Structure 1
């Protein structure tokens, strides 16, 4: 049994110290490239709708997540010594998780905005009084000003609940004795607040999941009814399909597996005596593997930007076509000189 446990431990060390750092490095390079292009395009176009505001904030959250990958790769490959673990515990890990949940919340806001645009817009226009429509929360989700206020509240919520208290209640170690154990760097209040942040963040995820399921189930029903009424007009059907599949596929691939594993993993950390060593070890492996899937959303989110935002799509295609024209002109000029 001890030999089997040591073999499993060795295999897990290979997974965490060899495989995962390589995957994170590739994800960092690809994610930085894609989101760098997305940021370059997005911040050259005006925020003409609430959807664009939410998508721009998702780009910022993804760039912040990507910035933390290099620290994780350096730590797992032995670069930077013990001090880099202290930096991760106090700063980059907090930034990683906060940025991830900010992105999740913006997915929820995008889903609500799409729900109003596709499902509720027509019924609001037809049945409600103008005054009631103006005070509707869903109605204001498409407003640029209101979207900016929600974006500020979203960032502030995660900053003041998770980032600021965690940084304040986590100290930097004087040596490498406890540098790799983040919980030992926290004060007694910091340990308790860490549990609060964990339950708070996970609750935000499950709430967002319920919002997505409700919104896109309603959207799918609305699209199906519209498609049956007017089979010759498929534009709404195609646009809604993009909204449904781009958000849902990314959300379920990246975030659902991690949070399904996070629940038993959290219980194993809080009530460790109730779990066998083998079970705790397995949960740790699942947690690290599914956490990488959550990180991979930085490579998939640009698909959402391209499929859901017409301004982004047209700007990107315009840039690409312009570059192709310049390349073809340069080639033609070179050939003419031969």
Structure 2
């Protein structure tokens, strides 16, 4: 399954990077989307190492590389993507609910500074997990990542996990709040003028699409991550069977999180008009672009479509 996700994810994000290369960063929205593309592509590039390691094709040194570097880069970029999806929701919220107020998140220069700070902060949280995975591997058995960490490494791993879980929870509930606020704004506009805002309807669909990605990809994994982390960092109260059950639950739900690299491109297509225009231009499908834009305009003017 990871092989399929890797193939499709690498193909889609490679195209995304190619398309966004031709789109100028003249809007904060574009800046945030480009950061998500980079995070998704880097996350995708870690899949081959995990595939080889889990298939037990490589040696112990490969397993050490996965635990020390590859897995850390995977989680680093996953949570960077989560943060930027939350910022996109905030951007849509301000555009519809507070159209007369300018947020510093919507300034191009500030968006680049914010992006750099996010990468730096997440790197600060993640890099110690690489440094503190420094124990000697047993050459006769397949070591777990937890056993390769020092005592301080176990403590940092646990703390960084809780920080990342907190990031997810905060972003998820913020997105829910944004969706409710935008929906209420559109409903009041409809009640007052007997029609809804086209921009509002589009932003509602945009927030809704992000929520679907969050719910499908990230909620199941984070429901499993807390008990799995506790089982990794302490042996009290966990039988061998419980360890195995938590491990399998974590692996299955982690696959759903990895599939996020295949779903984010769908968000780009529907949320970003310059992306659609450049994509169709590069594929020499300008007529198809006009039909698609016409369909979007017609659906936006139909009553009851949110």
Verify same fold: TM over 0.5. Answer: yes
Match of 1:294 in 2: 257
1:42 aligns with 2:42: no
How far did 1:266 drift? 2.3
Larger displacement relative to structure 2 (294-303 or 173-182): 173-182
Residues 146, 178 of structure 1: alpha-carbon distance in 2 compared, 3 angstrom cutoff: farther
- Cα distance in 1 for partners of 2:279, 2:128 equals 40
- Cα distance in 2 for partners of 1:281, 1:68 equals 24
Match of 1:155 in 2: 119
1:94 aligns with 2:72: yes
- Cα distance in 2 for partners of 1:148, 1:311 equals 19
- Work out which of the two has the higher radius of gyration on C-alpha atoms and give 1 or 2: 1
- Cα distance in 1 for partners of 2:283, 2:186 equals 32
Match of 2:81 in 1: 103
1:84 aligns with 2:62: yes
1:221 aligns with 2:184: yes
Match of 1:244 in 2: 207
8 Å contact from structure 2 (residues 186, 197) kept in 1: no
2:4 aligned counterpart, secondary structure: helix
1:265 aligns with 2:243: no
Match of 1:3 in 2: none
How far did 1:41 drift? 0.5
Q: Which runs of 5+ in 2 are unaligned?
A: 289-306
For 1:69-80, what aligned pairs fall within 5 Å after superposition? 69-80=47-58
Residues 103, 318 of structure 1: alpha-carbon distance in 2 compared, 3 angstrom cutoff: same
Match of 1:140 among 100, 104, 110: 104
Match of 2:155 in 1: 192
Q: Which has the higher helix share?
A: 1
2:98 aligned counterpart, secondary structure: helix
8 Å contact from structure 1 (residues 265, 284) kept in 2: yes
TM-score, normalised to structure 1, is: 0.80
CA RMSD of superposed structures (Å): 2.1
TM-score, normalised to structure 2, is: 0.87
Runs of 4+ in 1 over 6 A off after TM superposition: none
Q: Which runs of 5+ in 1 are unaligned?
A: 1-22, 125-132, 134-138, 326-338
8 Å contact from structure 1 (residues 62, 298) kept in 2: yes
Match of 2:271 in 1: 308
Q: Give the total of aligned pairs.
A: 288
Match of 1:254 among 203, 213, 217: 217
How far did 1:262 drift? 1.2
